[in-house]
Structure 1
Amino acid sequence: MARLVSSNLKRLFVCFPIAILLCLWSKMRSSPNDNYNIHFRQNHGKEKIFYVKSGKCELPYVDPFNAEFVKINHPKVFIPCTNESDLITVHYDNIFNQYVLHLNEEVLHKLARSEKNDFACFYQKIIYGQSADRYDRKGSKTKLTQDYLVPLDVEGMLVDCRTADESILLQKDAFMFIQYQGAPKDLSPVRKASVIMYGIDTVSRTNIRRMMPIIYEYLQSPGWYEMMGYNKVADNSFPNIFAMLTGYSPESAETQVCNTDSAGCLDKIPFIWKEYKKAGYLTAYAEDEELSNTFNYMKPGFTAKPTDYYFRPFLTALEKETVIQYNAGTVMKYCLGRRLANSYIFDYCRQFMQRFLADRPIWGMFWSNHFSHDDIFMLSAMQHKILSDLLNFEKDGAFEHTIMIFFSDHGARFGPLMRLKESFLEERLPMMFIYLPPWFRAKYPQHVRALSLNQNRLSSNFDVYNTLKHILQMDKDVEETKWSYDCPQCQSLFYPLPENRSCSEAAIAEAYCTCHKYEEVKEEPWTWRMADLVVDRINKYLRLYGLEKQCSNLTLKVVNITEQWMEEIDGDVNRPQGMRYYHTKFQVHQNRAEFFATVLYNKETEELKVNVELISRINMYGTDSECINNKIHKLYCVCLSKIRVLEQ
């Protein structure tokens, strides 16, 4: 029992409702990660602790609550979208296999300030458009009666309740429905694992420990495995998620399939959900932000419905037809009507599992970014909500059937955490937890042992893709699981990864690799010269793409830090003689834009090698680059029309 009372959980007893903590306490049992937890506690001594430690990779542990972070910590308080009770509630009738809308007359009387039932509620169906990525229109008004059976062709609706004379609006609401469809007659009798991917944008391995400690404690329960050596392979959401779902980088997809920036291309890409569909799975995909949607932000989206259940058309309706609320200092929508944007995604996911888990295999990805992308401290406000989600999944019995992947795409890429010493690790080490249900652990003990072993070995998005492929072939006695196009040496996480694995073997570029030891070097003329050369390369890059008439020529203002890779000999890469790897973090005069670059540089000859498209922009740049649309070019462009007064 002593293990359960971690320092994080102790802190929570003075801060959070006891009912939730008691519920969580009842969840805590001996964990498969006990050895790691002991190792974790030793961090308070002198010994340096690593998530991964091998000849080719030393991935260090970071104390979540170190003194540097405590100085900037600004936890947030949860803000509900409304204090009103629900006038309409939904439940599912298992006899009719239909949703039922119940009118709560007690709430009605409070809202109408009357004991009379002189009111009317109407709904309008949300109708898909010709494009799969938007809704076309609202249907005609249909009056709701008490315990109304929702027609099977209604997957989303907007509801309006008013007094009988329509003079007073009582409540507006919106509902989405996963409508039931029976299992096919030729369904395989062999039990297959369902797979649910529940993701939250911009959550690092360290930040879930500091911002969502009760979630982290929950994820120590039996059956959960944290991939502590998981390292991202690209800068932002799209290429990281794309690699996980296809085994390709966008660049390789362009040469092998099509250009993901071109209309219609995403329909042709071999996403993993297509393979699950062929294997008899029902599929679903949902996100909670229209503009920043993974496949629509500076991308063409889908022209055909990509999965059996696809949330985006309903999301576009919600963002157009409901009242939107924002949090201070953020650009993403916090509330859509009466609910958190994330709540719609969770409800959609939960309904999907409730309708189908018992009688057929399913695959779904449910991605939330509205509360985490713009403000990393909002994670602290949302942890009880996310814990409630996980506990509800468990209450429904979902964890008896489902492999769940609880993950993120990357850590913070801009904001206050980029000022910390460990910002390099923060950005590149997203959280990755995998849950295996009891029957799966009993049937495939060798795969469970491998996954447990792999927790402390270097892994990447391409390994996750191979794992998703492997799940489909569990009963085929597959020995070769190297399917990722862009990582021939990657494999399923259900087989032991090489202990002495390098970043290049996991398809992780040096710019994103967290395995190597860098140490700060003192400021010298050559550190400024190196940073100045990097700025020059960015300017040449902008000219290469004809952007010099839209984007300012950048000039170096200050070098914040320079770090040098300490190893003299490295078997991972072939470095030209006299060149070493360096990190340089610097700021330019134009709008104080800040960058972080990994470069090869020779101090004597001033020869420099850098891939501009792997340079990170580490402060917010939203309005700076409004004059161009290319997602990558935006990182390096400060529009001439947006230039503020330059500081000398």
Structure 2
Amino acid sequence: MQYAYHVMQPAAIIEQTPSQKFMIPTDDASTKGFLLKTKGCRIPELKPIDGNIKRFIFAEKAVVCNNGRPPLVESNQTCLFIVKSALEAYDVNITSLLTCCYQMFLRIDPTDGKKYGKIKFKDCIAFNDSIEVDDKAEFVKVTCLYNNTMLYKDFFSFIPLKPIPPLKNSETKLNVLILGIDSVSRLNFHRQMPKTSAALRKIKTVELLGYNKVGDNTFPNLIPVLTGWNESELKKNCWPNTTSYFDDCPFIWKRFAENGYATAFAEDASWMGIFNYQRRGFKQQPTHYFWDTFDGEAEKQIGNKHRMNVDQCLGPREAYKVLVNYAEKFVESIQFLYNKPYFGFFWSSSLSHDFLNKPKLGDEFFEGFISRLYQKNLLQNTVFIFMSDHGIRWGDIRSTFQGRIEERLPFIHIYIPEWYRNDFPLAYSNLARNSQRLTTPYDLHKTLEDLLDPYALSRDFLHRRQENRTERREYSLFEAISPERTCENATISEHWCTCQSTVKIATNESVVVEAANFTVDFINRLLVGYADCVSLELDEVLDSSLQMQQQDIEGKRSKRDYTLTLRTKPGSALFEATVRRESKENQNYDYEIVGTISRINLYGRQSLCMADFHLKLYCFCRQLL
């Protein structure tokens, strides 16, 4: 949405000496100082530990689940068993008095308009030492009594064989495994998870240096990956409003399922999940294996160590570890037990969503997961994509230039099996070359489409595609992306674009003051009709800069984009906005908001009176005055 108004008074233009101007090197110049340097996009190179951000980096305390008590029951692929070494921690002295049982449970589809369906529990099946669970068991609840008194409760998930359509041909399929960690920038990934980064280098993943987000939060950055559409297109075609279910939308996992793949979708902290936060989710489960059912019930009954938005633990285990262990169990079962190809999408928010420094706590765990995948030959026929959606969106670091750039550049690594690299060298060399191109979530979707038929990506096929292609916003990463690609070509809003050169300007310049007042006025217009929200006022402009692209420096545009960080009152909300000023006749100017106005500090309880998930960023509830 864009809204513009006319300013009669001309704004001042800052004159700079040559030494003050941000100079963009020519194509022949050194790439020193740039992470990405193409004709269409120059992204500055920043250090993971820069002097300006050292003060934000510290060691988080390890999470202690269940007050330090270990698991009393564990599972493998098919069995539950009591952990004898844990008996002492639960003061179990007479094992004959310890009795456990497990209950299978399943999801009942919600009735029209309801967000969640009911959970149906079956009879409890007793065991004393270990037991092989029913071959139809997917999710189970375990309870243990000691001397007829409740002692322990736990939840486990399994991978039963399900009816999956047969493969359409006998060719070896490439599995697709996507594992995401929410809110981790590329630089913060290297800063916090060096062991995991080393494990990825060891198996020779391709890291996309110029992967630029296209929206504010998780939803608008993953919808393009999963559907190829943006949020507006999703609403137009299959999801008319927030009370609608997502069942009719063309998620990529549907196409894999049609081709005979087993499909899985799982996320921890599912209450605020991709399709659940302020939304209705799915009426029918979207994939063959759908873990939200498990996570929602487990959080309700055994979630603990709540911090900010998430339960960090499910019983005695950290939530993200439970999710990733489920992913590993899924991969092993589908590949080795059932001999099926699979598409698995696993998304973790519980570790990293709210805190810049918490990913460090998961470094060794993710290193181990990646190493096991490789050592067990689970990646032999698998494209493995390890990624995030954006960097951290709030906190003190977001008020810095580096924090703003990091937020727009999430990490993404792509593993291609060695045999496929050798058999399809052009597809792989294009992917490797595209690591130094501007890329987007739309490109990742086109890549997933190509993986539906990876054997088609021959040299001749890719050459023909290159010769016949038209200008569009998305390209498969297996085809050559032009070095002339710009944010505009890729439909990345100027507000999210990292290809710009930044020139700091004084916060008291008239153009900045006008742009700041315009921004606050724009926010208040968004809130018209919501009587519970007060009208905001400009408190202070904290930072301002002019964003310049190659066209600006070459004098080819009459528009200028200003990025502002400002504080409003009441509530001390911090907003970041990109405001475009366009020159008109008679020294007049038009202003417009480009993209989304970002909220870069937490709104917490300030917006409890607002149900719209977009407007919660801006509302300060009148009842708090």
Q: Name the TM tier (shorter chain).
A: 0.7 to 0.9
Query: Which region of structure 1 is more displaced relative to structure 2, 436-445 or 464-473?
Result: 436-445
Distance of 1:588 and 1:386 partners within structure 2: 40
8 Å contact from structure 1 (residues 502, 572) kept in 2:
no
One-letter amino acid of the structure 1 residue matched with residue 525 of structure 2: K
Distance 1:91-1:538 versus aligned 2 partners, 3 A rule: closer
8 Å contact from structure 2 (residues 167, 261) kept in 1:
no
Shift of 1:602: 5.2
Shift of 1:173: 1.6
Task: Report matched runs for 1:385-464 at 5 Å.
Answer: 385-464=365-444
Is residue 55 from structure 1 mapped to residue 50 from structure 2 by the alignment?
no
CA RMSD of aligned residues (A): 2.5
8 Å contact from structure 2 (residues 136, 161) kept in 1:
no
8 Å contact from structure 2 (residues 335, 341) kept in 1:
yes
| Partner SS, residue 59 of structure 1 | strand
8 Å contact from structure 2 (residues 165, 259) kept in 1:
no
Query: Which region of structure 1 is more displaced relative to structure 2, 293-302 or 79-88?
Result: 79-88
| Partner SS, residue 605 of structure 2 | coil
Counterpart position of 1:13: none
Shift of 1:175: 0.6
Structure 2 residue runs without a partner (length 5+)? 1-29
One-letter amino acid of the structure 2 residue matched with residue 68 of structure 1: N
Task: Report matched runs for 1:39-188 at 5 Å.
Answer: 48-82=32-66, 83-92=68-77, 99-108=78-87, 111-131=90-110, 133-163=116-146, 165-167=147-149, 169-181=150-162, 188=169
One-letter amino acid of the structure 1 residue matched with residue 216 of structure 2: D
Structure 1 residue runs without a partner (length 5+)? 1-45, 93-98, 644-648
Distance of 2:163 and 2:243 partners within structure 1: 36
Counterpart position of 1:634: 616
Task: Report matched runs for 1:573-588 at 5 Å.
Answer: 575=557, 577=558, 579-588=559-568
List per-residue Cα deviations over 1:214-238 (Å, max 9, x = no partner): 2222222243000001000111100
8 Å contact from structure 2 (residues 185, 410) kept in 1:
yes
Distance 1:339-1:151 versus aligned 2 partners, 3 A rule: same
Counterpart of 2:176 (choices 190, 195, 200) is 195
Distance of 2:102 and 2:281 partners within structure 1: 29
Counterpart position of 1:230: 211
Counterpart position of 2:345: 365
8 Å contact from structure 2 (residues 63, 312) kept in 1:
no
Counterpart position of 1:34: none
One-letter amino acid of the structure 1 residue matched with residue 620 of structure 2: V
8 Å contact from structure 1 (residues 130, 136) kept in 2:
no
List per-residue Cα deviations over 1:555-598 (Å, max 9, x = no partner): 111111111124573499985x4x41111111012110011111
TM-score by length of 1: 0.84
8 Å contact from structure 2 (residues 101, 126) kept in 1:
yes
Is residue 312 from structure 1 mapped to residue 292 from structure 2 by the alignment?
yes
Shift of 1:498: 0.4
Counterpart of 2:527 (choices 542, 549, 555) is 542
| Partner SS, residue 76 of structure 2 | strand
Distance of 2:471 and 2:321 partners within structure 1: 36
One-letter amino acid of the structure 1 residue matched with residue 610 of structure 2: I
One-letter amino acid of the structure 1 residue matched with residue 159 of structure 2: I
List per-residue Cα deviations over 1:31-67 (Å, max 9, x = no partner): xxxxxxxxxxxxxxx9842221122210111111111
Shift of 1:420: 2.0
List per-residue Cα deviations over 1:201-221 (Å, max 9, x = no partner): 000011111122222222222
Distance 1:289-1:278 versus aligned 2 partners, 3 A rule: same
Flag the structure with higher strand content: 2
8 Å contact from structure 1 (residues 78, 382) kept in 2:
no
Distance of 2:325 and 2:471 partners within structure 1: 35
| Partner SS, residue 104 of structure 2 | strand
One-letter amino acid of the structure 1 residue matched with residue 221 of structure 2: N
Counterpart position of 2:229: 248
Is residue 348 from structure 1 mapped to residue 331 from structure 2 by the alignment?
no
Shift of 1:135: 4.6
Counterpart position of 1:471: 451
8 Å contact from structure 2 (residues 334, 342) kept in 1:
yes
8 Å contact from structure 2 (residues 271, 296) kept in 1:
no
One-letter amino acid of the structure 1 residue matched with residue 543 of structure 2: I
8 Å contact from structure 2 (residues 355, 392) kept in 1:
no
One-letter amino acid of the structure 1 residue matched with residue 183 of structure 2: T
Task: Report matched runs for 1:279-318 at 5 Å.
Answer: 279-318=259-298
Shift of 1:385: 2.1
Counterpart position of 1:521: 505
| Partner SS, residue 247 of structure 2 | helix
Shift of 1:481: 7.0
Counterpart position of 2:474: 490
Count residues in correspondence.
Answer: 578
Distance of 2:609 and 2:552 partners within structure 1: 42
8 Å contact from structure 2 (residues 108, 120) kept in 1:
yes
List per-residue Cα deviations over 1:114-171 (Å, max 9, x = no partner): 25422211122222122395552332322124331100222111111122x313x443
One-letter amino acid of the structure 2 residue matched with residue 211 of structure 1: Q
Query: Which region of structure 1 is more displaced relative to structure 2, 285-294 or 314-323?
Result: 314-323
Distance of 1:185 and 1:241 partners within structure 2: 29
Distance 1:235-1:105 versus aligned 2 partners, 3 A rule: closer
Distance of 1:487 and 1:568 partners within structure 2: 20
- Percent identity reads 28
Distance of 1:586 and 1:517 partners within structure 2: 21
Counterpart position of 1:16: none
Distance of 2:167 and 2:433 partners within structure 1: 37
Shift of 1:503: 0.7
Distance of 1:180 and 1:572 partners within structure 2: 61
Counterpart position of 1:20: none
8 Å contact from structure 2 (residues 499, 549) kept in 1:
no
Distance 1:256-1:90 versus aligned 2 partners, 3 A rule: closer
One-letter amino acid of the structure 2 residue matched with residue 556 of structure 1: L
Distance of 2:582 and 2:491 partners within structure 1: 25
List per-residue Cα deviations over 1:52-90 (Å, max 9, x = no partner): 112221011111111111122122132232443433232
Distance of 2:551 and 2:163 partners within structure 1: 61
List per-residue Cα deviations over 1:366-398 (Å, max 9, x = no partner): 000012111111112221222222223223321
List per-residue Cα deviations over 1:181-204 (Å, max 9, x = no partner): 487665632011100110000000
Shift of 1:627: 0.7
List per-residue Cα deviations over 1:443-495 (Å, max 9, x = no partner): 2111111111010100000000000000112223554779xxx9934211011
Distance of 2:471 and 2:290 partners within structure 1: 29
